[in-house]
């Protein structure tokens, strides 16, 4: 049966226990293992995505305004 442990609660509040800090990095590590990406490669991907953002925004606006 679970019992409340007030001392442990206070301890948890005081300390940022390392093992409880989320490991998003672990997930990214797995991704980078299968697809090794450098900073430069990611910069290119982000630049392409920003270009796609601008392109679809402009095309959508032109279509919406019956320009094309």
The angle subtended at Cα 60 by Cα 59 and Cα 66, nearest 5°, is 90
Closest approach, Cβ 27 to other proteins, in A, equals: 5
What does the alpha-carbon distance between residue 61 and residue 36 come to, in Å, rounded to a whole number? 37
Contacts with other proteins, residue ranges (CB under 8 A): 2-3, 5, 8-9, 12-13, 17, 19-25, 27-28, 31-32, 37-39, 42-43, 45-46, 49-50, 52-53, 56-57, 59-61, 63-65
Closest approach, Cβ 56 to other proteins, in A, equals: 5
Q: Which of 50, 45, 43, 42 is nearest to 58 (CA)?
A: 50
């Amino acid at each position: 049966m679970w019992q409340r442990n007030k001392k442990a609660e206070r301890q948890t509040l005081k300390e940022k226990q390392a093992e409880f800090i989320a490991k998003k990095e672990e997930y990214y590590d797995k991704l980078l293992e299968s697809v090794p990406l450098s900073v430069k490669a990611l910069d290119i991907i982000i630049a392409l995505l920003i270009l796609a953002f601008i392109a679809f925004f402009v095309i959508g606006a032109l279509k919406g305004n019956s320009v094309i």
